[in-house]
């Protein structure tokens, strides 16, 4: 940990990853939130990167919900939150046991296919059990590598929610998920005080990123917003596959 604290590269990657995640949270419904862990994994073990990010994600979620909660689609939340909790439960049991590359490969392929194939949205929207499928996958991948954004955005894109409804619904969804994830993370015994203190040092960066995201989303149209989310989904998928094939 002392080596990390003294490493300029660590702080550069951490600030970049946390800022992008904050912008993504309040500006693009978490579509690029997957970038932080892969960036941090360049200089620290993935499990440590996951533990480092959780307090920051919780802080970002709280701020995002403060911005948009009045626009939340509670009908959608009632469908996807129970599925996410189930996914978190499975993910908690698999923490440290499931090869990360398998998860990254599947998630990366799904993200890229959906981002490039617009006709897939109506099909996913009409799927039976789509809320349980994507909500559950989001809970699972979020618990293991903080990559819950692409799966739930696949579902929300298919539902064609208005921009503010989308941001509010995603913000509350991620906030509930990350709060629930505290339980399995604590049970591992690997979440140390030093990691938590490092998270606190990065808290101003996280809040600045959320503020920037809100400023950006207020300056783009609904159509531009949807295109940005697809672009972020594509970028997330490429980044996940890059982590698998060029570690």
DSSP 77-136: HHHHHHHHHHHHHHHHHHTTTS-HHHHHHHHHHHHHHHHH-TTHHHHHHH-TTHHHHHHH
Q: Is the dihedral of CA 176, 177, 178, 183 positive or negative?
A: positive
Residue in 158, 167, 149, 160 with CA at minimum distance from that of residue 129: 158
Question: Which tokens hold the place of 191?
Answer: 């979440």
Q: Which domain holds residue 188?
A: 2-245
Around 92, how many Cα atoms within 13 Å sit in the side-chain half-sphere? Answer: 18
| pLDDT on residue 144 | 87
| pLDDT on residue 32 | 63
The model's confidence at residue 200, banded by pLDDT at 50, 70 and 90, is very high
More confident residue, 26 or 119: 26
Could you report the per-residue pLDDT of 228-246, keeping only the tens digit for each?
Answer: 777 877 887 888 888 888 8
Residues present in the chain in total: 247
Number of domains in the chain: 1
| pLDDT on residue 33 | 67
Question: For residues 235, 77, 132 and 62, what is the CA-based torsion angle, rounded to 10 degrees?
Answer: 50
Q: What is the pTM (predicted TM-score) of this model?
A: 0.83
């Amino acid at each position: 940990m002392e080596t990390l604290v003294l490493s300029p590269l660590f702080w550069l990657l951490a600030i970049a990853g946390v800022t992008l995640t904050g912008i993504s949270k309040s500006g693009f419904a978490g579509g690029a939130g997957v970038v932080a862990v892969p960036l941090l994994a360049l200089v620290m073990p993935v499990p440590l990167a996951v533990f480092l990010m959780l307090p920051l994600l919780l802080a970002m979620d709280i701020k995002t919900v403060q911005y948009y909660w009045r626009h939340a689609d509670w009908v959608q939340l009632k469908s996807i939150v129970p599925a996410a909790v189930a996914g978190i439960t499975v993910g908690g049991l698999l923490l440290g046991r499931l090869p990360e590359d398998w998860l990254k490969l599947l998630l990366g392929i799904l993200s890229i296919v959906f981002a490039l194939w617009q006709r897939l949205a109506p099909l996913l929207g009409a799927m039976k059990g789509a809320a349980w499928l994507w909500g559950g996958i989001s809970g699972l991948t979020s618990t293991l590598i903080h990559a819950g954004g692409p799966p739930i955005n696949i579902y929300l894109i298919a539902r064609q929610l208005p921009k503010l409804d989308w941001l509010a619904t995603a913000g509350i969804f991620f906030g509930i998920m990350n709060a629930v994830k505290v339980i399995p993370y604590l049970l591992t015994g690997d979440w140390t005080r030093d990691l938590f203190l490092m998270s606190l040092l990065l808290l101003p960066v996280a809040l600045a990123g959320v503020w920037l995201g809100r400023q950006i989303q207020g300056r783009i149209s609904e159509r531009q917003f949807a295109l940005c989310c697809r672009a972020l989904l594509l970028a997330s998928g490429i980044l996940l596959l890059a982590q698998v094939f060029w570690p």
